[in-house]
A and B are shown apart, each in its own frame.
Chain A
Amino acid sequence: MTKDEIRGTVLRALGQIAPEADLSQLKPNLRIRDQLDIDSMDLLNFVIGLHKEFKVEIPEADYPKLATLDGCVDYLASHGGT
């Protein structure tokens, strides 16, 4: 999976938890949480969405690495985003 493909899948998972958000406006280097007003339950749903899409086990301690869109893409690319 290329980084662009990973990015597309991450955005799709975000769309599941924030269907009303305009994700084209999302700044890739800023915290997703602040831009989309999501809470811990949304975050968990997002992580579960990533887990299902990428078949990767994400420990709770790694959640901070998923704070931004860029962070998500890097993390998933290096953790076998197949």
Chain B
Amino acid sequence: MTEFVMPQLGADMSAGKLLGWRKNVGESVRRGDIIADVETDKADIEIEVFTSGVIEKILVQPGEKVPVGTVLAIIRQEGEAAKAEAPLAPKAVPSEAAPAKPVAPVLPPRPAVTPSEPGRVHASPVAKKLAAELGIDLASLAGTGPGGRITLEDVQKAAQARAPQPAPTPELDRRARMRQAIAAAMARSKREIPHYYLSTAIDMSRVMAWLTQENLKRSVEDRLVYGVLLVKAVALALHDVPELNSVWSAGKAVQLTDIHVGAAISLRGGGLIAPALHNTDRQSLDELMKNFRDLVQRARAGSLRSSELSDPTITVTSLGEQGVEAVFGIIYPPQVALVGFGKITERPWSSGGQIVSRPVLTATLSGDHRVTDGHRGGLFLAAIDRILQEPEKL
């Protein structure tokens, strides 16, 4: 049996609302199938399944909002025998219809030990004090001390149990919730990640000349935009400085083998989302272009897939079209690096002792200083520059 849980679709997601199931109990699913739709603060996401099997049980119904990690359904894997009715109670999770007041855990009937004085709660003074401070009703707790006495630990446990239940907030519209989600992720990034910033100017004349020639040969559907070349160059440069392709997890950096560049896509009406282009370094420019184009269109139409939001390993943001010359971005946790590109401008450039006019692009790196130093970051930007000087090899 496999538990199919509410996935974490980025650092800025804590809960998701199940919009609907695309499969019913008893139906077969294959790894990679989209089996449900979930609404997050940022978008409506198509949720893929990562096991093949049969849906044994559905535990969360459409309309329910549940925290990340909540079991949504049970999947019986191929070859596994159907199980007799198992005691699979849905996990107690707050839904949107949750009562307005946080409640202490519901407990079985009190043990048969009666307090020494009827009507009076039997608790240690320190437990009473803490319970009063935290607003916990002692009568709702079962004591584990001698004679059913409520101990300090009992109160602490009750406090912990109710801690993850935030006070219900009124339903905000998508735009406001998107803002909140970005605020939470970016505030966390600035609080936890010691950023360092580097920038370099790159001569784009070879890239742009190659691209113009290439596009002349191509039909509309196969044309490339230079942004795709930049994304590919970033992915290839990570081979030189692989530690930038890491996530920060449980107090240390974990370097990843697969390179999934997250492309920051601004959404009309506000906000942004940075879904992954999977295995960016291994895709040809044609594949990457097709996938990038599709990703932008789906991001803006609100139909991204769960895998695209859960596993980018580095983010690329490009603000050149807005006329920005250089972007110094905020790293999207748990990633440890973000690459920014500004606009391509004609500038005086020194080449072979001559001052010439060249299209120049400013590339920047925001790096997590816990994981890399400016020296390695500098090598990475130099690698991007070097790779872009040979566009035909991309």
Would you call A41 and B227 a contact (CB within 8 A)? Answer: yes
| Given A44-B293, A45-B293, A47-B220: A18 and B268 interface contact (C-beta under 8 Å) | yes
Would you call A20 and B219 a contact (CB within 8 A)? Answer: no
Would you call B268 and A41 a contact (CB within 8 A)? Answer: no
Would you call A51 and B221 a contact (CB within 8 A)? Answer: yes
Q: Can you name 7 A-B pairs with beta carbons within 8 Å?
A: A37-B268, A39-B321, A44-B293, A51-B219, A58-B220, A59-B216, A60-B216
Would you call A17 and B300 a contact (CB within 8 A)? Answer: yes
With beta carbons under 8 angstroms apart, the residue of B215, B220, B301, B321 that contacts A40 is: B321
Would you call B293 and A41 a contact (CB within 8 A)? Answer: yes
With beta carbons under 8 angstroms apart, the residue of A16, A20, A36, A41 that contacts B225 is: A41
Q: Which residues of A contact B300 (CB under 8 A)?
A: 17-20, 42
The complex places the Cα of A69 from the Cα of B47 at a distance, in Å, of 37
B45 at interface by CB-CB < 8 Å: no
The complex places the Cα of A51 from the Cα of B222 at a distance, in Å, of 12
Q: Which residues of A contact B212 (CB under 8 A)?
A: 60
Closest to A52 in B: B221
Contacts A39-B321, A44-B223, A60-B223 known; 18 new A-B pairs at CB < 8 A:
A17-B300, A18-B268, A18-B300, A20-B268, A37-B268, A38-B268, A39-B266, A41-B227, A42-B296, A45-B296, A45-B297, A47-B220, A48-B293, A51-B220, A51-B221, A57-B219, A57-B220, A60-B212
Report B212-240 residues with CB < 8 Å from chain A CB.
212, 215-216, 219-221, 223, 225, 227
Q: Which residues of B contact A21 (CB under 8 A)?
A: 268
Closest to B266 in A: A39
Interface string of A41-73 (1 = CB under 8 A from B): 110110110010000011110000000000000
The complex places the Cα of A17 from the Cα of B294 at a distance, in Å, of 11
Q: Which residues of A contact B268 (CB under 8 A)?
A: 18, 20-21, 36-38
Q: Which residues of B contact A58 (CB under 8 A)?
A: 220
Q: Which residues of B contact A42 (CB under 8 A)?
A: 296-297, 300
Total A residues in contact with B, Cβ cutoff 8 Å: 22
Report B292-314 residues with CB < 8 Å from chain A CB.
292-293, 296-297, 300-301
Q: Which residues of A contact B301 (CB under 8 A)?
A: 19
Would you call A40 and B225 a contact (CB within 8 A)? Answer: yes
Interface string of B189-216 (1 = CB under 8 A from A): 0000000000000000000000010011
Closest to B297 in A: A45
Q: Which residues of B contact A47 (CB under 8 A)?
A: 220
Q: Which residues of B contact A51 (CB under 8 A)?
A: 219-221
Top 9 nearest A-B pairs (CB, nearest first) are: A51-B220, A41-B296, A37-B268, A39-B321, A19-B301, A60-B215, A48-B221, A40-B225, A48-B220
B269 at interface by CB-CB < 8 Å: yes
The complex places the Cα of A16 from the Cα of B294 at a distance, in Å, of 12
Q: Which residues of A contact B223 (CB under 8 A)?
A: 44, 60
The complex places the Cα of A19 from the Cα of B268 at a distance, in Å, of 10
Distance to closest chain A CB from B258 (angstroms): 24
The complex places the Cα of A51 from the Cα of B221 at a distance, in Å, of 8
Best-buried of B212, B223, B266 by chain A (most CB within 10 Å): B223
Distance to closest chain A CB from B172 (angstroms): 18
The complex places the Cα of A42 from the Cα of B269 at a distance, in Å, of 15
The complex places the Cα of A57 from the Cα of B220 at a distance, in Å, of 7
The complex places the Cα of A57 from the Cα of B269 at a distance, in Å, of 32
The complex places the Cα of A51 from the Cα of B218 at a distance, in Å, of 13
Closest to A51 in B: B220
Report A1-27 residues with CB < 8 Å from chain B CB.
16-21
Best-buried of A16, A19, A44 by chain B (most CB within 10 Å): A44
